[in-house]
Every structure is written in structure tokens, then in C-alpha cells.
Structure 1
Amino acid sequence: MDAILPEILASLRHTPNLVIEAPPGAGKTTRVPPAILGLVNGEVIVLEPRRIATRMAARRVAWEIGEEVGGTVGYQVRFEERIGPRTQLRFVTEGIMTRRLLTDPMLMGIDAVILDEFHERNLDSDLALALLKRLQRTRPEIRIVVMSATLNAAPIARYLGDCPVLRSEGRLFGLSISHTPYSPEPLQVQVRKAVELLNAEQHSGNILTFLPGVAEIRRTMRECETIARQTGMLALSLHGDLSPAEQDRAMLPTAERKLILATNVAESSVTVEGVTAVIDSGLARIATYSPWSGIPTLQIGRVSKASSTQRAGRAGRTGPGQVVRLYPEEDYGMRPDHDSPEIARADLSQLLLSLRAMKIEHLDELDWLDVPPAEAVQNAELLLDRIHPHDRKDRAGVAA
């Protein structure tokens, strides 16, 4: 990543927008933000998709510049922040950024916003990008940088005024990827057999396993207790509901080998120390909602090729790695290249409520990277009008 830092800075001196593609392990999360901080006078904000990535990225960057978190580098997530009077580089979750835009739509004092791991296309990240593009009409000097390892860069570059796209080759080590044939056995049994296979091949590093949710992690933990004990491995879980201390235990180096059972919180922006093998279930819990009931749901579904690539990359960040995918190669070939954006499949009532709080009455007042489905917009408007009918009357009066 360091090789293209001069190009990144040169580009941002001439044009305010930039798209950066770099494979897992290239160092974009930790190397690009401090470099941009040296270019601007104000603060730099980095959006991360998850709390764990936000904390770990801030910690790593602070360590690299020889400071504690809360000095030049800080972070802010829900219910927790490490920000000081000298903080100029701030890592935040996407939801925190949405609330910041609610209270400070001009982002005073902020000169650059970096949207990291944008390929995940969460609702808040799409909203942030649309609001930042709108903000550039009145603050054309604010920099917008979009980064990802598995991004389809061309549409985003067009959206940001045909801005430049820079690519880094990174330093990913060699990966050996194998697929297992279809198996009717429970997922936890398939994971145990994959662990036994890696141990039989004299694998000596930590093993990171991707599972769709906490329930599957608990079942797999019970299934793998014996093999972990026999081989001296420390079995640990890693998901968003754990405390920071419990997450750190899974992430940071230990004397024992580790079997880490994780949801997709470990998929991007995070280096789990010592991992040289990944077992990928190929599944995740995906947020969606029923237009008939209006109730949000979490459904287990197949991840895209892009997510599979992200997961595999966790095994090649510190040395050559192995990847065992618990699904056939034919299955992989039929998966979509990228996951569909959350804005195309989620309930939009919360999004619309946030916009109304910003005095933006309709979603079509913003220029979106992907236009929200008309039916979902209509359903969200009807729901909010039923909850707050006086708002509808006020808007009708203004229109009249």
C-alpha cells in the first residue's frame, strides 16, 4: 500500500474524490487515513462497517505512530469512545456518522471522509455517501475516499464525477483453496471434520471459521470441544455481541493455537493474529424484510464471491494459508459476484425518518448510488405517515 501513497496524495490535491482498490492485507485501513491526515488541515473521519473493526483499526494506527488511542487517533462506536482534545483522525461506525450528519450536516472541521470496506453496501454507508455528495455542492473542498478489497469501482467512480481509481497489489501470501462435496451432515459436524483434516495435514497455525450466527457458533463450539482439547487448541468465539475484552481475546496473539469461531465480523478490516487457515461455511445471516408484514428478518443465505474472497484473504495476511470451503466448487461458480446492497432489500422507514429529521422529505431529493426500490419507499412513507399523521398534514400544507 505504501507504494501508491504518493499517487493517492497527488490525486487528492487535484480532485476531491478517489476510489481505492486493494486486496485483503494490503494495509489500506491503517496506511491511507494517516497519510491523508497529513494532507488536510481539519479532521479525517474513517467509516467502518462494524464496531470491532473500528476499535482495532484505531488501535493499530495509534500504535504505528507511537501513541495511545485517544491522542491523535481515536474511535467512536455506540456506547464507547476514545476521543481526546488532540484527536484529528477518528474511526467511527457508519451509524455514528449518520447521527453526526443529523446534528452537523455541514461537518464543520472535517476535511476528509473515508468510507472503508464499502463493498458491504450497508444502508448507513449508502446514506453517508449520498449526503457527502450533496455536501460537496456547498463544501467542494471536502475529500471523499471510497476503499474496498472487492469493489466494483467503475460505478462508484462515475457516481463521484468520474473520479480517479487507484489499485494496489498488496502483499497477500499464497493461498491453497479446496472445496468439499455437498454433505447432508449438520454444519457443526462439517466444521469438526475440516478441523480434523487440517490437523491431520500438520497445520500449525490458528484456524478461523466463518459461521452464519451465534447459534451456529455455540453448536460448533460443543462439537469441537474434544478435538480442540486433544490437540491443545483454544476454542474461542468472535461476534458482535461479545464484550471488547472477549473480542480482544480472540483477536490478539496467545501462547496456544486457536480455533476461532466467528460471524462475518471477522470478514474485513480486521487482522486476526496468527491465522493461517480459514474454514468457510459460505453462509451468513442477511438482513431483509417482508413487504407484506413490514417486519425485518434475518435469513441465512449464501454469501457472494466477493465475500468468499474476503474470507479467504484472512488466511493469507501473515503467511501462506489454507482455505477449506464447505461447499462444492460448482456452488461457488453459481454465486453472485457481489452481495446486493442493503438499500435494495431492507425496510427503509428508519432511513426515511433520518432524512426527515434532516429536513429532507423524500428519498428522491438525494442522488443515490443505487436508487431505492419505489415500492419500499412507498411502504416506508405510508408507515411513517400512519405513525405521525400530523407530519403528512404539515407537508401537505407546505406544498399547498
Structure 2
Amino acid sequence: MADDWRNGGFGLYVHWPFCEAKCPYCDFNSHVSKKIDQERWLAAYLSELRRSASETPGRVLNTIFFGGGTPSLMDPETVSSVIDEARALWHPSNDMEITLEANPGSVEAGRFAAYRDAGVNRISMGVQALNDDDLRRLGRIHTVAEAQAAFEIARTCFDRVSFDLIYARQHQTPEAWRAELSEALSMAVDHLSLYQLTIEDGTAFGDRYAVGKLRGLPEDDSAADMYLITQDICEAHGLPAYEVSNHARTGAESQHNLIYWRYGDYIGIGPGAHGRLTLNEEKYATETYLNPQRWLDAAERGGGEKGRTTLSLEDQASEYLMMGMRISEGLDIDRWELLAGRKLSEDTVDHLIGIKMIEHENGRLRATSDGRAVLNAVIRELLS
């Protein structure tokens, strides 16, 4: 089992925790700061890269992902130095994917060109809505026009550009979402991440919702209609769902996210970053300090990692099932049974196949379109 991670690959996630403003729906580890010492942050990132590489010598690095926060607020020189160091510490794959998340409000042509020259070859843009009123409700600091302009700039610099949209927003109807999604697909996009708005505890939206002040959220049936509309329209435009919330043309899938879903190994550095790492025939879940200043101080002392949890083979089997069932290629049954040390329940599998929630083909188990709509329930049944 020491080499199981090779089924998914090996990636690096770098978390940049700073934003220009905190969005009311966001429960990510993001913070607003007036002053950021980028040289100090770069030194901490490089130190953490070297520490991680000392544990994983000789590995081929498939992907790097700069997430946040708003990584497009990073100096291009910072991004360049992180990429150069990672390339020197591991063996870069011939087709290594290097993604940087960007917000339209922090984009300019020169900055994107500098990221490209630094080695970034894929941009993931947080557009979130193609409606100015909804952008304001979501706390976004850009307009639709700015988002469209930023997308065009990105297209001139990068072959691969994705953007995110949120649906089931306040006062949104299925008809309005259909029109908005069609507009997004007309922008020559080859990858879309499409998320239903969820109200999370601890966010500004969560606080408003708790006291009855977040009005106009769609009813469950309406939100379900929007999910089905999403599947139908994207598939008709040649961007089928390769994961529950992600749609792409063939060959444009996010290779970094596929490492997660295929249950590979990945290093997470930066405040609040998580990882999965196989060392000496054990697999570990890693986590770092959440508070940016605490992480920075700890990294400067030699380690920003908060702790590690050893994952039993049963834990690994459960995580692989939860991840693998999210993607259209599904779960490798032999691999799961090797991790779990037992077979999947034939009765459960037959029942779920019988009600058309899953299908079994060529040694793989995958959710059907109906099953994907209620995936959490399907996963619970398989795990039980």
C-alpha cells in the first residue's frame, strides 16, 4: 500500500490567505490586511518547500496550485520564486499544470503576462456572477464588465482559463440562471466550476440567515432545477461534468483537483492548508496553523505544520470512496477493496444499481446522473 498514492499523482498546494475584501458567503481562510511583507512570506514558503521536499525526495511533481484568498495579489516575483524552487526540489513532470486563482478586480494585462512568464499555465478566475446586482450582494468588488475584460486578458496570456460561478443566489430564478450560464458558455471557456450557494456558519451570510435577514433564497425545488439545468446546458455545449461541480471540455480538466479526487498525495503549505502524504508505508493527513501570523512565525522557526494524523487503511478506503465517487470516472473497486481489506456490500451495490443511482462497468463504480444529484446519500449507503 506504500505506493497507492501513485494512482492519483503528487501535487503541491500553496495557500495565500489575503484578500482585498472578505465576501459574506466565504468560509475559506482569507483575511484582509493593509500591509503584507511579501519578502517575508516568500522566505517562509521556500523554507516549507525545502522541509517538505526533504521528506519526499525523488518524486515527480505533477501540479502546483496557488489558492486563497486571492493569489493574484501575490507579487509575480513571489510566484516565480516558489515555482522555481519547487521545480528544483522535485522532478517536474513534462506537462506540469501550474494554476493560479485570480479575482477580476486584481487583474491587469502586465500582471497576467508576468505570471505566465513565471511559469503559471492555467488561471482559475473567481467571477461568481454575471449580474452586477448579484455581484454586489455577494460582496464582490468587480463588475460584470471588469470580469469580462479580465477574462479576455487571461485568454491572451493563457491557453487554459477556468472561472467560477455561484447559482441559487438570492432572488435568482431557474430561467435567469439558464440565461446567465448560456452567456458564460459563449465566452469560449473550456472549464467551469459551478457551485450552489451554501450558507455556512461563521460567515456574514450565516449570521444574517440565522436572524431571518437573508431573504430571497430559492426554495429547494428551484435550486434542484438549477442543478439539472446546469448539467443539461453544459453537456449540450461540450462541457460535461467530470466532477459534481466541475465541467470541462475533454483535456481541460483540472489536473490538480483530480489528484484530490483520485486520492493521490499532495503537500499543503500556507495558513490552513491541508495535505495527504505517504511516508514509510503510512499515509498521513497534515494540517497547518490557521492564523496567518501564527503560521508565518512557525514556518520561520522551521515548521508551519500544526500536526499529522495517521490514516488507517479503513480511513483511506473511506476517503478514497468519498473522493472517487465525485468524479465521472468513478471508483476503482479493486483498489478500494485492497485498501479496505474487504469487499463492498453486494446487497448495497445491487440495490443502488437497481434504483439507478450507480453503475458498475469495467471494474469501476460510478454515480449516474440521478445518483450525482443525491451523492451524499449514495456515499453514505456505500460506506454503511
What's the TM-score, normalizing by structure 2? 0.28
| TM-score for both structures, normalised by structure 1 | 0.27
Larger Rg: 1
